[in-house]
Amino acid sequence: MPNYSLQRQTSARLDFHPVSEADFAEWLPFYQDPRSSAQWAYASAEEPVVRCQQWFASQRYREANQLGGLNTLREKGSGALIGYCGLLVQTVDGLPELEIGYSLLPSHWGRGYATEAALTCKAFARTHHLAQSVISIISLTNVASQRVALNLGMHVEKVTWYAANEVSIFRVALDAG
């Protein structure tokens, strides 16, 4: 089974670490900020604490079932939690796909961290021959994430439904640089 974990990887400004529930208090502001969920119709209208607990549970499930997972992104030097990024095994329209997923704390938006982390994931997937291509699943209204995908050399392959959301599937071949 492939190893999708980028633990101990680094980029210019970021260190990749395993997800730890000790980071709960640092990640909770993501769910407390309404901007974080504005682009995604959640099946659950639970309170931020419950949604954050569900997020950590989903990471444990992914790890236990070899479905890839996100990595904690910490800023080099300060050690501040920036967000999460990683390679996720997804099913889109009935087909298995390898997704580069990313979520950042709103306080770190607009600084290029998502692109930097996602480029590290793309290079890792290419170097380890994990797939012929990678995707990102992005809400039609999430312009910032669409820009990240374009920065990765991705293009919109199709529009479809995923987890009760109309989304664009962005794709890039891993042999295409």
Tens of pLDDT, residue by residue over 120-170, are: 999 999 999 999 999 999 999 999 999 999 999 999 999 999 988 999 999
- In this prediction, residue 34 has a pLDDT band, given cuts at 50, 70 and 90, of confident
- In this prediction, residue 38 has a pLDDT band, given cuts at 50, 70 and 90, of confident
Is the whole-model pTM more than 0.85? yes
Q: Look-up: residue for tokens 């939690």?
A: 81
Kindly give, in sequence order, each residue whose CB lies less than 8 Å from that of residue 115, ignoring residues fewer than 6 positions away.
148, 151, 152
Share of the chain above pLDDT 90, in %: 86
C-alpha R_g of the chain: 15
Give me the mean pLDDT over the 94-102 stretch: 97
The CA-atom distances, in angstroms, between 174 and each of 12, 76, 81, 163 are 21, 27, 29, 26
